[in-house]
Every structure is written in structure tokens, then in C-alpha cells.
Amino acid sequence: MRKKILAANWKMNHGVEETQKFFQEFNRHYHINSEIEVVIAPSYLSLQEAVSLNAKKISIAAQNMHWAEKGAFTGEVSVSQIKEAKCTHVILGHSERRHVFHETDEEIQKKVALALTHQMQVILCVGETLEERNQEKTHSVLERQVGSALSVISGAVTIAYEPVWAIGTGQVATPQQAEEAHQSIRKMVWDRFGMDAASNLRILYGGSVKPDNISNLISQPNIDGALVGGASLDPKTFIEILNQMA
């Protein structure tokens, strides 16, 4: 059985004070469930605050990292720096990094390879735009994004399928649409890396996940959890999603 994951991506929200308030509330109300791995990705400036208040011993993630070990990259953060901040996970290839900041498949591949070299757990985001879905290019987009990013696959890699048209829009892929995409990703991994790698790979759904839709999504055989954006900013809502998953 693949262990479920619920991951929170706070994006550019929650400074240090809001992070303190979140974890105070979260620590009071979250009852540890060993069947679900919980990951929270605060902003860079809130990472150490999250680590210091992490009474429930969940996993802390960075939202991104640079593809170089170090150097003259003003405003960027290295893998060594996020490891020193006690992050165990890193989110790479998020649609906002691809489409807003124009990160290429090649850059994302270099980041994934470097993170794995440093024994980081990688959450690799993939997903198609609405235009690509309407043109029936979902499979080819996912094949390109997964194939270009992964030269190896192991238990250190989790893939998050996030249809770009559903992120922050209130639209949600139907459970059937999400399952088809997850099944397609698992088959790609099977074809490239073999049955064991595909069977053990955890694939998350992301895109306007809320307490009232997570149950139908998580019931699909190839959906192993969720990467949650806006609904993860409120500790009570985030815990309710956890409870629905359980």
C-alpha cells in the first residue's frame, strides 16, 4: 500500500507571525495519523519558524530551489540552504514556476537531479493548460514534463498532477478526469522505469482541493493524496481535509 500524502503549498502567503499562529492552532487540533504523511511548504522567510514550531513532526518543504549548488544568483536559494533550514522536501516544476517565471523543462530537470543528489524528497509538479486539454494534448504534455524531469525514479520522488486550469480558479478536475491523468502518469513511469517503480510511485492531485471534494478524489485508485494551495492557509480547513482523507 502506498502511504497517502497531504502537502500544503502556502505560496507567497503567511509571514513569520502568521506562521506562528498557524502552527499554534495546528498543534492544538491535529491528531497524528500514521497512515498519512503531512508536508507543509511555507515561504522561505518562514521556514525556520515552521521548523521550530513543528511539534507534530510533520515534514517541512521548500517551494523551490536553484539548479546550481551556489554562486552569483541574486535572490535565489540553494539546495544546501534549504537543507540547513531543516527542509526534507522541495516542490519543483510548479505551474507558476513554469508559466509565470518561464522555467524550462531543462532547468527543472537540473533541479530534480541536484535535489536527489542531496537526498531531498522531491514533489515534481506536472500539468496541462486549458488550451492544451481542449486540444487533447494532456497525455503528450504530461509525457514531456515527466520524461524530461526524471532520469531516475525512486521513493524520493512524488509526482503532483496539477491541471493548470484548476489551480486557484475554483474549477476542479472531476474524479474521473484526475484518475485518467494519474493513470496515464503511472503508465509512463511503468514503461520507462518498470512495474515496481510505477507501483510504488505516489501521485498527488492539486487544483482547488477543499474538504468537500477531497473524498471523491482520494477514492480513485491512482490518486495517493493532494497538493493543496489556498485551502491549506487555514489550519482548521487543512485539518478537515486531513480528516476527510482518513
The number of folded domains in the chain is 1
Q: CA-to-CA distance for 102 and 96, rounded, in angstroms?
A: 8
Contacts of 62 (CB under 8 A, 6+ apart): 41, 44, 47, 77, 82, 85, 87, 89, 90, 91
Tell me which residue range forms the domain holding 122: 4-245
- Domain CATH code at residue 199: 3.20.20.70
Q: Which residue has the cell 502556502?
A: 10
- Apex 162 CA angle, 44 and 212, nearest 5: 95
Residue 216: in which H helix or E strand, if any? Answer: helix 214-218
User: Which of 104, 109, 140 shows the shortest CA–CA distance to 124?
Assistant: 109
Handedness of CA 217, 218, 220, 225 (dihedral sign): positive
Measured CA to CA in angstroms, residue 206 lies from 41, 162, 209, 235 at distances of 14, 5, 6, 18
One-letter amino acid of 21: K
pLDDT of 78-109, one tens digit each?
Answer: 999 999 999 999 999 999 999 999 999 999 99
Q: Which residues does the annotation mark as catalytic? A: 94, 162
Q: Which residues of the chain have pLDDT under 70?
A: none
Please report, to the nearest 10 degrees, the dihedral formed by the alpha carbons of residues 26, 27, 29, 35 taken in order. 90
**Phi/psi zone of residue 227: left (φ > 0), alpha (ψ -120 to 50 degrees), beta?**
beta
